[in-house]
Amino acid sequence: MKKLITRSCEEIMTTVYKPIEFVIDGLIAQGLYILAGAPKVGKSWLALDMCLSIAKGEKILGLKTSQGTALYLCLEDSYARIQNRLYELTDEPTEMLYFSVMSDPIGGGLEEQIEGFMSEHRDLKIVFIDTLQMVRSDTDSSYGSDYKDLSVLKALADKLEIAIIVVHHTRKCKDIDPFNMISGSTGISGCVDGSMVLVETKRGSRNAKLYCVGRDIENAEINL
């Protein structure tokens, strides 16, 4: 039996720890996050806008960003579709934003692929995985399965000291608490450091609200 490793209250209170680094000020810190929303609500557009802003060191949603390399795994898209979206958002390309339309699954090589990418891009700040279902090898959505898969990505984010954002879907049913609409079990919300749910005020209105909650951020509702 391994001895339990502990630290005293005094030791913790007198130790100088590295401060939390935000990739998007007050919204996304180092760790694992979920970005959920209904199909075609604009999750991928928001993810791409965030990636571009971080790569260029520009503000996003009125918030400052920490400039660095961004990696976007667009696993449900083609490079042609990515190109069209990029031209909708910017006329100036950046060498600090990278895309891939294929990856290995969680536990089947994905972690090594991200670590390998970071070994070539030491200033990597954020990785978007679009979508969660595309990197899961198990169709089981029980609490244990959800928590197990997300904990692998959580451990990777902590190890590399980066932010990993997993794009996911919401249920069709409405709920007073938007975070209850995240598809799957509560194991998803329980494992991640923060959750963001994008809800369109009225279908087709192009107006939405981004609900945010997390361990290191203030609860927020951002109009888009």
Query: What does the pLDDT read at residue 171?
Result: 85
What domains, with CATH codes, occur in the chain? 19-223 (3.40.50.300)
pLDDT score of 146:
86
For residue range 69-97, what is the model confidence (pLDDT) as tens digits? Answer: 999 999 999 999 999 999 999 999 999 99
Q: Which residue has the higher pLDDT, 197 or 205?
A: 197
Q: What is the pLDDT of residue 1?
A: 86
Q: Which of 26-30, 44-48, 168-172, 196-200 has the lowest mean pLDDT?
A: 168-172
Position 164 scores a pLDDT of 98
pLDDT given for residue 203 in this prediction: 75
- DSSP characters over 59-126: -BTTB-B---EEEEEETT--HHHHHHHHHHH-SS--TTEEEES--PPTTTTHHHHHHHHHHH-TTEEE
What was the pLDDT predicted at 118? Answer: 98
Extended strands (E) in 13-68: 22-24, 28-29, 31-37
Longest CA–CA span in the chain (Å) reads 60
- pTM exceeds cut of 0.85: yes
- The mean pLDDT of the chain is 92
Q: What is the pLDDT of residues 134-164, one digit of tens each?
A: 999 776 678 888 888 899 999 999 999 999 9
**Which of 10-24, 46-60, 129-143 comes out lowest in average pLDDT?**
129-143
Instruction: Give the C-alpha separation, 201 to 42, whole Å.
Output: 13
Q: Which helix (H) or strand (E) holds 197?
A: strand 194-200
Residue position matching structure tokens 């329980």: 190
| pLDDT value, residue 137 | 79
Give the three-class secondary structure for 169.
Answer: strand
Q: Give the separation between CA 41 and CA 179, rounded to whole angstroms.
A: 16
Contacts of 117 by beta carbon, 8 Å cutoff, 6+ apart: 71, 98, 124
Confidence tier at 199 by pLDDT (50, 70, 90): very high
Q: Is the pLDDT of residue 58 over 90?
A: yes
Question: Under DSSP, is residue 186 helix (H, G, I), strand (E, B) or coil?
Answer: helix
